[in-house]
Amino acid sequence: MRIKEPQLLSVLGELGVQVQPEVSLAELTSLGIGGTTDLVRITRHETIPELLNLLEGYGIAHKFLGGGSNLLVADGELAFVALQLVQPDPDVVIEGNFARVDAAADLGRTVTRCAKHNLGGLEGLIGVPGTVGGALRMNAGAYGTQIGTYVREVKLYRAEARRLEMLGGEQISFEYRHTSFAPDDMMLAVKLELPSKPYAEILQGIRICNEKRRASQPLGQKSAGCIFRNPPGGSAGRMIDELGLKGHSVGDAKVSDRHANFFVNAGEASATDMLALISDVRDRVQKSFEVTLENEVVVWNA
Ligand code: EPU
């Protein structure tokens, strides 16, 4: 979708909003899949309500893009613009045991930044790609850690109230790969409370998690992490593996040889290929195990 109206472009400029025309979302997603649209970059949180009112007034649909690491975007010209926060500098501010982190901050870099201030707890999240905002929305987790445990405050754009709000950690429910945020709420910043730990000890924890991840996940390849949530008490990866589906493909969309819940773009995979592979694998698991796997990956249809 293109923003062409000169008057709108000029007001957006006044709000400090940068519009990059016809950006390929394949280049902004870890899967390397996705069509084109205008990228609307936000430099000041406070302008978001006005920006969204303007877009609505002009009939321009939008979606919020984080780090693009858990996202499958449709092919071709997209019927919405993508909104993205510009990363402020600094994006992590430490005060005692609290870290105030901008939603646009890189999650891995946040883990190491906190570690350097002897703040631990986040070691398990070290290899999870994406932004802190994305991790917050999905309650990202790995190796026994989930981000929600440490959240004390969240600044967000509340879609229903159409304004910026601050929520206390106790007002948010964090479950396995799920939170009580509405789908169109936009994460802006978070205050984490982290346990004190010596830097060397945190580094050791980080090393162990990195090794485990390297041993079991296809890190060098284009993927969106795990495609399906694990069903209660089970493992989607193990079930897909047991069906002998490692290496199974539709076009260049392929079930990883290393971890069967990772689907990789082995070349020029399209969203259509990837969606067909997801649906095929889901059907096969359903037939064999009578379990309906739910997507963990977020899908943006055209
Ligand atoms: N397994 C297989 N074959 C495979 C993959 C896994 O047999 O191809 C078996 C493993 O041997 C193990 C079990 O399945 O016994 C579980 O595997 P793993 O430890 O890799 O954990 P997972 O449940 O597949 C989850 C998260 C990952 C996270 C890891 C480590 C989900 C959907 N996945 O994977 O998160 O990194 O634990 O904590 O919750 C993600 O969210 O995108 C993601 C990758």
* Structural domain harbouring 196: 92-200
For the chain, what is the domain count?
3
Distance separating alpha carbons of residues 42 and 217, to the nearest angstrom: 34
Q: Is the pLDDT of residue 302 over 90?
A: no
Is residue 59 located within the same domain as residue 23?
A: yes
User: Is residue 293 in contact with ligand 1, taking CB distance under 6 Å?
Assistant: no
In a domain, 212, yes or no: no
CA 196 to chain centre: 27
Q: Are residue 171 and residue 136 in the same domain, yes or no?
A: yes
Element of type H or E holding 204: helix 199-216
Which of 51, 67, 85 finishes a domain? 85
Give yes or no: residues 136 and 77 share one domain.
no
Report the relative pairing of strands 178-179 and 81-85 from DSSP bridges.
unpaired
Separation CA 1–CA 273 (nearest Å): 23
Q: What is the pLDDT of residue 110?
A: 98
The reply to whether 114 belongs to the active site is no
Q: Are strands 62-64 and 81-85 parallel, antiparallel or unpaired?
A: parallel
Q: Is the CB of residue 230 below 6 angstroms from any atom belonging to ligand 1?
A: yes
Q: Which CATH number do you get for residue 126?
A: 3.30.465.10
Same domain for 228 and 140? no
Residue 200 pLDDT > 90: yes
Find the catalytic residue in 114, 226, 282, 296: 226
Residues 69 and 100 in one domain: no
User: Would you say residue 189 lies in a domain?
Assistant: yes
pLDDT at 182: 96
Domain contains 209: no
* Residue 295 buriedness (CB in 10 A; 0-12 / 13-18 / 19+): middle
Mean pLDDT of 182-190: 96
| Residues 196 and 122 both lie in one domain | yes
Domain of 42, CATH number, reads 3.30.43.10
Active-site residue 162, yes or no? Answer: no
Tokens 């205008």 identify what position? 38
Amino acid letter, residue 22: E
Helix (H) or strand (E) holding 203: helix 199-216
- Please provide the average confidence, as pLDDT, over all residues in the chain: 97
Do 39 and 109 have their domain in common? Answer: no
CB 62 within 8 A of CB 286: no
Residue 102 is assigned to a structural domain of this protein:
yes
CB of 123 sitting under 6 A from ligand 1: no
**208 is a domain residue:** no
Name residues whose C-beta falls within 8 Å of residue 226's C-beta, 6 or more positions apart in sequence.
236, 237, 259, 261, 262, 296, 297
Res 245: pLDDT: 98
Q: Is 213 a catalytic residue?
A: no
Identify the helix (H) or strand (E) that includes residue 289.
helix 271-289
Query: Is residue 176 lining ligand 1, measured as CB closer than 6 Å?
Result: no
Report how far residue 124's alpha carbon sits from residue 142's, in angstroms, rounded to the nearest whole number: 5
Whether 246 is in a domain gets the answer: yes
Contacts of 57 (CB under 8 A, 6+ apart): none
Question: Does any ligand 1 atom lie closer than 6 A to the CB of residue 216?
Answer: yes
Cβ of 226 closer than 6 Å to ligand 1, yes or no, is yes
Residue 57 lies in a domain: yes
1-51 pLDDT, tens digit per residue, is 999 999 999 999 999 999 999 999 999 999 999 999 999 999 999 999 999
Of 41, 59, 85, the domain-final residue: 85
Q: Cα of 275 to ligand 1 centre, how many Å?
A: 21
- Pick the atom of ligand 1 nearest to 228's CA: 32
Residue 225's pLDDT band (cuts 50, 70, 90):
very high
Give me the sign of the Cα torsion angle 95, 101, 105, 108. positive
Q: Please indicate, yes or no, whether the overall pTM of this predicted structure exceeds 0.85.
A: yes
104 and 173 belong to one structural domain: yes
- Where among 85, 107, 126 does a domain terminate? 85
Q: What is the pLDDT of residue 125?
A: 97
Query: Do 188 and 238 fall into the same domain?
Result: no
Cβ atoms of residues 27 and 19 within 8 Å: no
Expressed in angstroms and rounded, the spacing between residue 296 Cα and the centre of ligand 1 is 13
CATH number at residue 258: 3.90.78.10
133 in any annotated domain:
yes
Strands 92-95, 36-42: pairing is: unpaired
User: Is there a single domain that holds both residue 25 and residue 120?
Assistant: no
Spacing, Cα 159 to ligand 1 middle (Å): 33
User: What is the bridge-based pairing of β-strands 92-95 and 98-102?
Assistant: antiparallel
pLDDT score of 273 = 98
The per-residue pLDDT for range 103-153, each reduced to its tens digit, is 999 999 999 999 999 999 999 999 999 999 999 999 999 999 999 999 999
Percent of all residues in the chain with a pLDDT value above 90, rounded to a whole number: 100
Predicted pLDDT at 130: 97
196 lies in the same domain as 241? no
Check whether residue 175 and residue 145 sit in a common domain.
yes
Q: What is the DSSP string of 92-148?
A: EEEETTEEEEETTSBHHHHHHHHHHTTB-S-GGGTT--SBHHHHHHHT-EETTEEGG
